[in-house]
């Protein structure tokens, strides 16, 4: 992991840091084809300090789960939309350190550059992990798009301030799209292709779905 900055202790300091880090993000094709992919998820009550994190690593060709790790941490950083990575990443880094297999690509339940300052959790974590990352969110943070066709695999670009920042991707026929955006060291088309390959028959790709189930199991076990 890259230790690229001290952790901010206020929303104002976090916004300043995002503005500084955004220039380090690199959107580019993968250096080599991905064979493994991980999903990350977080669970917390916005009014409490406990954060539950989970990471699940899958083989891309079979979608077999080959590794997983969890962590339970506490945070004092407040719940502020657009700054959630500062609450969530420390717990995910702790889970990451426990993985026995490190994935080629990491998917976050959130956004990459589809963010007001182009530094969503997938982009921020990509800088820290120094590996390809992308966001696959269930809702829009910023950007507008035209509704894609109803068939699985259809997508339309998400635009913000004249830039393409992601895609509204239909992962299942006649079901609401998910919102894919590159985080770091990956491009949009590759992110779209990977999310379609992680198909388990649900709207949400298997990476996110399995990480979500893992985190919920951990949270229930520790209530």
Query: Within 13 Å, how many C-alpha atoms sit on residue 184's CB side?
Result: 21
Instruction: Judge whether 2 lies within some domain.
Output: no
Instruction: Judge whether 11 lies within some domain.
Output: no
**Domain membership of residue 87 as a residue range:** 35-221
Task: Say if residue 109 carries a ligand binding annotation.
Answer: yes
Q: What percent of the chain has pLDDT over 70?
A: 98
Task: Say if residue 193 carries a ligand binding annotation.
Answer: no
- Please tell me the total count of domains within the chain: 1
Buried (b) or exposed (e) across 7-24, using 16+ Cβ within 10 A?
ebeeeeebbebbeebbee
Q: What secondary structure, in 3-state letters, does 105-173 show? A: EEEECCCCCCCCCCCCHHHHHHHHHCCCEEEEECCCCCCECCCCCCCCCCEEEEEECCEEEEEEECCCC
Instruction: Judge whether 43 lies within some domain.
Output: yes
Instruction: Judge whether 19 lies within some domain.
Output: no
Confidence of residue 45 (pLDDT cuts 50, 70, 90): confident
Confidence of residue 3 (pLDDT cuts 50, 70, 90): low
Of the candidate ranges 63-67, 111-115, 196-200, 216-220, the one whose mean pLDDT is the lowest: 216-220
CATH code of the domain containing 147: 3.30.2170.10
Q: How far apart are CA 60 and CA 116, in angstroms?
A: 31
Give residue-wise pLDDT tens across range 57-94. Answer: 999 999 999 999 999 999 989 899 999 999 999 999 99
Give residue-wise pLDDT tens across range 107-122. Answer: 999 999 999 999 999 9
Instruction: Judge whether 59 lies within some domain.
Output: yes
Exposed/middle/buried for 199, CB within 10 Å: 0-12, 13-18, 19+?
Answer: middle
Instruction: Judge whether 211 lies within some domain.
Output: yes
Q: Which among 6-10, 73-77, 150-154 has the top mean pLDDT?
A: 150-154
What pLDDT does 99 receive? 98
Instruction: Judge whether 21 lies within some domain.
Output: no
Dihedral in degrees, nearest 10, Cα atoms 201, 206, 210, 212: -90
Residue 37 has pLDDT above 70, yes or no: yes
Instruction: Judge whether 27 lies within some domain.
Output: no
Give residue-wise pLDDT tens across range 121-134. Answer: 999 999 999 999 99
Report the predicted TM-score, pTM, of the whole model to 2 decimal places: 0.95
What pLDDT does 223 receive? 77
């Amino acid at each position: 992991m890259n230790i690229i900055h001290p952790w901010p202790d206020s929303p104002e300091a976090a916004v300043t840091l995002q503005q500084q880090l955004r220039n380090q993000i690199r959107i580019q094709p993968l250096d080599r084809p991905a064979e493994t992919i991980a999903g990350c998820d977080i669970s917390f009550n916005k009014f409490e300090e406990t954060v539950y994190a989970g990471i699940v690593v899958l083989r891309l060709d079979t979608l077999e789960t080959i590794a997983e790790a969890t962590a339970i941490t506490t945070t004092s950083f407040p719940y502020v939309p657009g700054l959630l990575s500062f609450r969530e990443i420390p717990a995910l880094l702790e889970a990451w350190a426990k993985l026995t297999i490190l994935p080629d690509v990491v998917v976050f339940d959130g956004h990459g550059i589809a963010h007001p300052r182009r530094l969503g959790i997938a982009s921020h974590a990509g800088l820290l992990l120094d590996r390809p990352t992308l966001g696959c969110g269930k809702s829009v943070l910023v950007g507008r798009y035209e509704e894609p066709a109803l068939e699985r695999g259809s997508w339309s670009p998400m635009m913000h301030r004249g830039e393409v920042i992601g895609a509204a991707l239909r992962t299942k026929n006649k079901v609401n799209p998910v919102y894919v955006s590159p985080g770091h060291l990956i491009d949009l088309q590759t992110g779209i292709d990977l999310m379609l390959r992680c198909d388990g028959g649900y709207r949400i790709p298997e990476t996110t779905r399995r990480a979500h189930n893992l985190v919920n199991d951990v949270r229930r076990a520790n209530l």
